[in-house]
């Protein structure tokens, strides 16, 4: 049987339909689209944590912000490239504008989440190419950033931001390069989980990862425990620098690129005691940029994630050492929960 092939224009249409039909929520899937504009105090990093008064998130130490966390509607995201036709290996500019659902008002105020108002990910559909970058805002509310993609193909451009007074957004848009005429199905990712205790080296850091529980279960929290050593000496790394206000960053995507987890390391050292005392954090919630630049971490860094459904997942985990960002890829399974 002859396999179907798709033109770039048709691929864009298909991906646009898919991205509008399957919205995103941090560490979960959206199951409804009915608007709910009730407001609450919410953690920008953990939108499932809400309170009716201002405070500090007990899971990450971030200040709660007044928002509409129960409104699961997608914002309108206008995305374009300059030039319109993107060529591999050549610089182009991505431009974004965001508009509120219902009113259509352009969003010009955003919450800071781990030192940035806009986290942007550009990932090839086969999940072999990954970029984590941060656009800049202009006075008219437009965001832009210059980028390149390494080869012909189609990519997903994933915008992660939290409008002030709104709900966290994770919106996907397609990008198809010039000259690409590949097969949509064959170009999709076909992930193979890493062997247990696999080690991977990126320049001067070698990383291994274990999971707690040993096999991650869909719908339940799983911990990814990284152990970092110096590639040349084998000694534990103890001089990690902070990156985006923490000792690491990870984005986890399902093989079909529908589910995602955006996570930073667990920072809590002690939970509140029985008398209601405050939690104790590795990095103080009110740490200044100067303090963050002075402190060092490692060799063990733990991330927490909730994979919404069974399947293969890829984690891109980033650490900063010697003023360089090191990006590691680890692939693992999430199995159905035990009955």
Same domain, 154 and 217: no
Residue 77 inside a domain? The answer is yes
Same domain, 257 and 306: yes
The token duo for 310 is 């069974």
Same domain, 156 and 292: no
In this prediction, residue 277 carries a pLDDT of: 67
Same domain, 172 and 287: no
Same domain, 96 and 242: no
Q: At a CB cut-off of 8 Å and minimum separation 6, what does 233 contact?
A: none
Tell me the pLDDT of the chain (339 aa) as tens digits.
333 333 343 334 433 333 332 323 344 333 334 455 677 777 777 777 788 877 777 767 777 777 776 677 889 999 999 999 999 999 999 999 999 998 999 999 998 888 899 999 999 999 999 999 999 999 999 999 999 999 999 899 999 999 988 888 999 999 999 988 877 677 889 999 999 889 999 999 999 999 999 999 999 999 999 999 999 999 999 999 999 999 999 999 999 999 999 888 987 776 655 566 677 788 887 889 999 999 999 999 999 999 999 999 999 999 999 999 999 999 999 999 886
What is the domain-level CATH number for residue 102?
A: 2.60.40.1930
The token duo for 322 is 């010697």
In this prediction, residue 275 carries a pLDDT of: 61
In this prediction, residue 271 carries a pLDDT of: 64
In this prediction, residue 53 carries a pLDDT of: 79
The token duo for 133 is 């970058």
Sign of CA dihedral 153, 116, 39, 28: positive
Same domain, 157 and 242: no
What is the domain-level CATH number for residue 248?
A: 2.60.40.10
Residue 271 inside a domain? The answer is yes
Residue 207 inside a domain? The answer is yes
- Three-point CA angle 65, 67, 72, nearest 5°: 135
Residue 324 inside a domain? The answer is yes
In this prediction, residue 49 carries a pLDDT of: 76
Residue 309 inside a domain? The answer is yes
Same domain, 214 and 290: yes
Same domain, 50 and 99: yes
Integer Cα distance of 240 and 262 in angstroms: 20
Number of helical H runs and strand E runs in the chain: 2, 24
Whose tokens are 């409008």? That residue is 163
In this prediction, residue 31 carries a pLDDT of: 34
In this prediction, residue 276 carries a pLDDT of: 62
Residue 124 inside a domain? The answer is yes
> Which range of residues forms the domain containing residue 297?
199-335
Question: What distance lies between CA 21 and its chain's CA centroid?
Answer: 20
Integer Cα distance of 175 and 16 in angstroms: 10
Residue 80 inside a domain? The answer is yes
The token duo for 63 is 């200040």
In this prediction, residue 181 carries a pLDDT of: 82
Same domain, 248 and 304: yes
Residue 2 inside a domain? The answer is no
Same domain, 125 and 210: no
In this prediction, residue 339 carries a pLDDT of: 67
* Number of structural domains the chain divides into: 2
Same domain, 139 and 225: no
Same domain, 144 and 261: no
Tell me which of 144, 176, 208 is where a domain ends.
176
In this prediction, residue 68 carries a pLDDT of: 73
């Amino acid at each position: 049987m002859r396999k179907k092939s798709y033109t770039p224009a048709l691929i864009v249409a298909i991906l646009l339909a898919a991205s509008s039909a399957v919205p995103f929520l941090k560490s979960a899937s959206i199951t409804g689209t009915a608007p709910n504009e009730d407001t609450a105090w919410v953690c920008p990093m953990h939108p499932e944590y809400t309170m009716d008064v201002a405070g500090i998130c007990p899971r990450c130490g971030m200040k709660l912000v007044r928002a509409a966390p129960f409104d699961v509607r997608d914002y309108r995201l206008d995305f374009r490239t300059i030039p319109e036709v993107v060529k591999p290996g050549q610089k182009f500019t991505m431009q974004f504008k965001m508009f509120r659902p219902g009113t259509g008002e352009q969003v010009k105020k955003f919450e800071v989440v781990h030192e940035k108002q806009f986290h942007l990910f550009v990932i090839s559909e086969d999940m072999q190419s990954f970029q984590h970058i941060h656009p800049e805002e202009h006075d008219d509310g437009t965001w832009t950033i210059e980028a390149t993609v390494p080869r012909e193909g189609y990519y997903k451009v994933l915008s992660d931001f939290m409008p002030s007074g709104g709900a966290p957004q994770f919106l996907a848009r397609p990008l198809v390069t010039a000259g690409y005429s590949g097969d949509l199905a064959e170009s999709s990712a076909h992930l193979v989980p890493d062997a247990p205790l696999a080690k991977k080296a990126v320049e001067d850091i070698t990383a291994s990862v274990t999971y707690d529980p040993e096999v991650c279960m869909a719908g339940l929290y799983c911990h990814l425990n990284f152990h970092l050593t110096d590639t040349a000496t084998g000694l534990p790394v103890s001089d990690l620098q902070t990156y985006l206000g923490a000792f690491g960053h990870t984005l986890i995507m399902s093989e079909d690129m529908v589910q995602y987890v955006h996570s930073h390391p667990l920072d809590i050292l002690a939970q509140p005691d029985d008398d209601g005392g405050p939690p104790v954090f590795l990095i103080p919630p009110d740490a200044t940029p100067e303090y963050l630049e002075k402190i060092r971490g490692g060799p063990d860094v733990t991330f927490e994630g909730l994979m919404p459904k069974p399947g293969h997942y890829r984690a891109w985990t980033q650490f900063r050492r010697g003023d360089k960002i090191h990006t590691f890829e680890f692939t693992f399974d999430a199995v159905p929960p035990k009955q």
